[in-house]
């Protein structure tokens, strides 16, 4: 039930939990892909081995954070879409959305 401020805090908290879980899965995928690839490139390519530590670190953490934020945002959008669909269906039935 919405609070006096008009926000359904239970629904909001569920959305945040879903988005956080999706983000963690995305981050795990990103690190699982990028770290071995950077390691292999370092071992197999003399040119890549000359890159700075900062460059290699960036190549590892960028997919990690990228997938975290992408999956989190997609989960939040899906949650908002479900909420909008529920509100539209409730309005069509003449009920007030919860």
| Domain extent at residue 35 | 20-85
Q: What is the pTM of this model?
A: 0.78
Q: Is residue 25 part of a domain?
A: yes
Question: Tell me: the pLDDT tens digits for 34-84?
Answer: 999 999 999 999 999 999 999 999 999 999 999 999 999 999 999 989 888
Q: Is residue 34 part of a domain?
A: yes
| Residue from 83, 79, 84 nearest 17 by CA | 79
Q: Is residue 94 part of a domain?
A: no
The total number of structural domains that make up the chain: 1
40/56 Cα distance (integer angstroms): 12
Q: Is residue 91 part of a domain?
A: no
The band of 88, judged by pLDDT with boundaries at 50, 70 and 90, is confident
């Amino acid at each position: 039930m919405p609070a006096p401020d008009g926000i359904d805090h239970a629904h909001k908290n569920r959305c945040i939990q879903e988005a956080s879980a999706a983000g963690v899965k995305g981050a795990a995928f990103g690190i699982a892909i990028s770290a071995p690839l950077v390691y292999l490139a370092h071992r197999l390519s003399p040119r890549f081995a000359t890159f700075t530590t900062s460059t290699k670190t960036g190549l590892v953490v960028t997919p990690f954070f990228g997938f975290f934020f992408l999956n989190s945002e997609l989960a939040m959008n899906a949650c908002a879409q479900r909420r909008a669909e529920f509100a539209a269906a409730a309005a069509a039935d003449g009920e007030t959305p919860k």
